[in-house]
Structure 1
């Protein structure tokens, strides 16, 4: 079978179009992968800031890491809304003896100005006898990018596992 000049040009044109389309389609996927890494690094930095602020008792600094309309969804409790409510909630936790908070992201995925993170946290808590014990929880956070900064938007976790 022989092809005429127009058919060859058409096939070459189709190959070129397919090549260009493959680059166009692959480009966002590559940038998404890099974007997730950048978002993860930013979220891990905020988590380090969160832990440091909480561990030094600066619950106002912790609350500032949330969006203005941020929410806590603690297990077995009412929803806590807004930065002042969030600061009061974390202050009550610190006053009860929660300390040595450590956060570890296990998964971060971003979608434009929103991201989610799942992870594990550990913290020390005073037992009724005055001794400290370490508790562990799993958590899920919805993050929102506000003016170029990643902020916690919705924050929920489970009860500590029975030891």
Structure 2
């Protein structure tokens, strides 16, 4: 029984020691976390207009395969999926968020599932870095880079 309790203690200690690390004003951290969750919701529902509005006007994305894409209009076009294809279960899990004045960065992991027009599904996951800029009272994505694992 003593060994079992020690094992549980070790497992809980490991779980909390590899948790998220957030640095900065808590209200701003909460806004960025909300925006991350909302972004996944927009991807899951194919709300391309709101995906575009998640970025600054001069934003840049660095997709895994391809050139740097600049500006909201081009970024929005990038996210539009072909007819019959849908992203399901898009999820972003930040490991760290750090805010310095009106700029922030976060990095972590993403995952999701795509359903193709023929009904076949494919799952994917990877790592990412996002640079945020505060625009008015909101935080928007300025740079977004990701690659698969």
TM-score normalised to structure 1 length: 0.70
Partner of 2:68: 79
Q: Deviations over 1:40-83 (max 9, x none)?
A: 21111001111111111111111101000011111131111111
2:69 aligned with 1:70: no
Partner of 1:136: 125
1:51 match: secondary structure: helix
Unpaired runs of 5+ in structure 1?
A: 1-32
Q: 1:128 to 1:53 in 2, by over 3 A?
A: closer
Provide the rounded CA distance (Å) in 2 between the counterparts of 1:88 and 1:121. Answer: 21
Query: After the TM superposition, which parts of structure 1 deviate over 4 Å for at least 4 consecutive aligned residues?
Result: 93-96, 126-130
CA contact (8 A) 1:57 1:94 kept: no
Point out the structure with the larger strand share.
Answer: 2
CA RMSD of aligned residues (A): 2.3
How many pairs were matched up?
128
CA contact (8 A) 2:24 2:99 kept: no
2:104 aligned with 1:110: no
Q: 1:95 to 1:85 in 2, by over 3 A?
A: farther
Unpaired runs of 5+ in structure 2?
A: 1-22
Provide the rounded CA distance (Å) in 2 between the counterparts of 1:99 and 1:69. Answer: 28
Point out the structure with the larger helix share.
Answer: 1
1:158 match: secondary structure: strand
Q: Deviations over 1:99-145 (max 9, x none)?
A: 32111111000100000000111110347985213211110000000
Provide the rounded CA distance (Å) in 1 between the counterparts of 2:85 and 2:75. Answer: 16
Partner of 1:54: 43
TM-score normalised to structure 2 length: 0.76
Provide the rounded CA distance (Å) in 1 between the counterparts of 2:138 and 2:83. Answer: 26
Q: Of the two structures, which has the highest relative contact order with CA contacts closer than 8 Å and spacing of 6 or more?
A: 2
2:79 aligned with 1:90: yes
